[in-house]
Amino acid sequence: MYAVIRAGGKQYRVAPGDVVRVEKLVTGTDGAVSFPVLAVSGEAGQVDAGQQSDARVVGQVVEEGRGAKILVFHYKRKKQYKKLRGHRQAYTAVRISEIAFGGQSFKAPELPKKEVKVKKMKPVEHDEPEAEAPAKKASAKKKSAPKKAAKKTAPKKK
């Protein structure tokens, strides 16, 4: 089943479970959104465009954000006129959770819950006994040049 809805001056064909990016919507605290329905299809190839008064499309807000930057360049030749502006269109991503029509209700399948991954800790290495430590020092050769001392700066006075 799918429906044709209107949002932000555009029309979208949606099915339960689809995620659609529409123009910025004002939503309530629960994040539920309903759309005006233009047409509904119960089966493949059949579209009911006339009786959508009882049709209902409900969605949940998934994300709100802004799209990629678009550069708008105005130019008039021979007049030394150039203007460059940027624009990022705001959007709301909505997951269609239910389409209801003619006493039937088609719901989207529930999304699986994301499990929190537990980071594996490396085992703690214990220090070696002091008896073995001098033996290592004797066998170690000269290391590279000593590190340079960090320059200290005096605090500036105002």
Question: Which distant-in-sequence residues (6+ apart) come within 8 Å of 95 by Cβ?
Answer: 17, 18, 19, 59, 60, 62, 108
pLDDT, tens digit, 9 for 90 and up, residues 15-25? 999 999 999 98
How many helical (H) and strand (E) elements, i.e. helices and strands, does the chain have?
A: 1, 10
Res 135: pLDDT: 53
Query: 98-111, pLDDT tens digit by residue?
Result: 998 878 888 888 88
- The pTM (predicted TM-score) of the whole model is 0.62
Pairing between strand 10-14 and 2-7? Answer: antiparallel
Q: pLDDT band at residue 147, thresholds of 50, 70 and 90?
A: low
Tokens, residue 3? 């429906």
Q: What is the pLDDT of residues 45-75, one digit of tens each?
A: 566 665 567 888 999 999 999 999 999 999 9
